Structure 1
Amino acid sequence: MSFSSLGLSPAILLAVAEHGYAAPTPVQVAAIPAILGGGDVLAAAQTGSGKTAAFALPLLQLLQDSPGEKPRRLRVLVLVPTRELAQQTAEAMRLLAPAGQQALKIAALFGGVSINPQMMDLRGGADIVVATPGRLLDLIEHNALSIAAVSSLVLDEADRLLDMGFADEIGRILALLPRRRQNLFFSATFPPAVHALAARMLHQPVRIAIPALEQNQPDIEQRAIMVDAGRRTQLLRHLLKENKWGRVLVFVATKYAAEHIADKLHRAGIKAGAFHGEFSQGARDEVLADFKASKLQVLVATDVAARGIDIAQLPVVLNYDLPRSAVDYTHRIGRTGRAGKSGIAISFVSADTEAHFRLIEKRHQLKCEREQIPGFEPVATAAPANAAGAAPPADNSNGGVKGKRKSKKDKLREAAARGEPDN
């Protein structure tokens, strides 16, 4: 099937061709005609499925079909969970927007930076706003924009929006929107809170569920390497040297771990940087730009990088600490194997995280053979299961195992007590 069969205008099709879109993905095939028809949409699609273009292309066409006004009135509002996703989505929509007599104005609004430049950017209005909920409400309270004329609302990464605690902000935003509007709801997973929000927002939606069939799944080789927790950094350095990977995204559980491991790698002569949510927006932009430009070989990140960051042709993702949930595992490894490219996802598994990794495997119906790298064979063994059938917490770091994470102060005390060798 081609984009031309989905009801898109010649101007939109030209923009699609100019930016190298060859054929629509399954979510685009299902969503584009439904959105052009003006109805609500409830879409479940895995990460990297092309959902941004699935809503961007038809919404851009709908705006082109309706006359613009001066000052511009905000007509399309896209809510996203993170700064990076706001920037990325806004940029994608700018690239796909067809040129015309009155080009569409698309603004990205997010916290972590001064509000004043964003207020200045909104002078004269905007046609499309891509925003994080908190900053959007701040700007509304400053009378910098109104959402009273929004005709289409998009919730992108709805599960992440709720997981990050934006439920109250979303409720306040919904109360300010016009009752008659188009609602587009995109989520990778549908826990109860997401189902409840969808039921509240949507009216007889077109339901789209892209099954995780093998032909729809990204080409990601998933590996599990057994290693003692204390030797993970040494093994990471060994793998970088042996495989000569150009870029590797390494996921850890905490801000402290991101900075500590990046510093160890840097002192070992490896170009590495840390990335976490407490960085200023300028620092986040800078380190991401360096990683995308291959000025950094390794980016050590918390789960703030697990969604909304599109790094072209990223060959490897490595779980230094296991994610706290099976859902986070999906989003982490989804940073590789994008846009038809292949990728590798490696998880370090130690004796005390083996049970947690088995749970991740069970939830995803996968089985990874446990590998051992010569010279890094694990010595520690799993503690015996307790009466409930679960292994008791081990004394060493448990990475991202849900319910067992140590506080930052505890980790700092333990590191000081050990002397924390620079391995």
Structure 2
Amino acid sequence: MIPLEVRGVDVYYGNTRIIKNISFNSTGGELIGIVGPNGSGKTTLLKTIGRLLRPRVGTVIIDQQEILSMKHKEFAKQVAAVPQDTQIEFEFKAIDIVLMGRNPHLGRLQMERPEDERIAKEAMRMTGCLHLMNRPIGELSGGERQRVIIARALAQEPRILLLDEPTSHLDINYQIETMDLLKSLSEKGLIVIAAIHDLNLAAQYCDRLIMLNSGEAIAIGKPEEVLSEERIREVFGCEVIVRHHPVTNAYYITPLPKRRTQPRRRGKKVHIICGGGSGASIMHELHDAGFHVSAGVLNLLDTDYEVAEKLGIEVITEAPFSPVSEESHQANLRAIERTDAVIIAPVAFGFGNLKNLDVCEVALDLGKQVFIMKDVLEPENDYTGGEAKKRIERLLEMSAAVVEGIDDLKKALEALHRCSDKRL
């Protein structure tokens, strides 16, 4: 038996179809996140499962029974909902708010029994708000009030818990507490379905995601299946980087700002020797400042390679985890011939990338300026037994210049190009 089935649901507001042929099911014991941009239908889908909206097409089934045929109390024993707005106008004590969740289990005009009080207090204990039981609800913070409202829902003893943006307007500590709680509830067998606006929280905590766009389910599956860079670009209209986090063992999303770059100007061509993320900030800064930037040689999958690809920068590549080949070395030399200056980022040098220093000597012979970021000179960046140090010292003897940081580098490049413009 499947506890929850959503079968081909269409939901309308007037003549406008808001939810379009959505189907999914759950056998229990999972946290399902509904994600999507504003107006995509997340709240409408929750209201449909919660019987606040009637689908025009399709149906929602709990234990092989259509929810619209269930009596109100019977349904309330199965499904509880936590709204996005948890504001309560009346100054009830927190325990009284939670006891309201026992109404489906009481007869008409029946007062709460000791068993109901025990269940309400247990719900408050589970949500970490038992110490607030005698506090007026209006005196509680947003995070405290959120926990009380979730406790009220749990007091219904539901099998399905629906939450609309449970972490919105909460500080990060309350966001984590709330998501930890929802995860633990799902692990105890509940079906927890939450509309979540934060994709990183959704990726870290949810077992499955439903991504909506304009009322359609664009994708349903595990976070790593749903949250691809291409799909986020399509649905949210923004550029992101999606990576697997080694500490949390979850996928995380980093949005890329829409870059306001200066127009590309004649000249101002620079080539960056980098790797392992050492050139990322330099590429960003110079690209945004209007320089024509190239980089290499970089291994595929290297962090700097990924940054260059995102920025549309020309990059000379090598196979992953491979030393610089003669073919890549020659391509690097050709790239340097087209530039005005070469920058050596604070990259670590081993025998596999020493050829990237050799091209700098060629650049100086060709009359190009070579700038060495100061941190390159640190001993911990030399994994060649001193060979890299010797080559850098040779570059300094040939007139390469050391710069302190990115600001000094930009000033030096601007000065270089002012001189070039005067000669022209």
Q: TM-score, normalised by structure 1?
A: 0.31
Q: TM-score, normalised by structure 2?
A: 0.31
Higher percent of residues as strand:
2
Q: Compare relative contact order (CA 8 Å, sep 6+) and give the higher one, 1 or 2.
A: 1
Larger Rg: 2
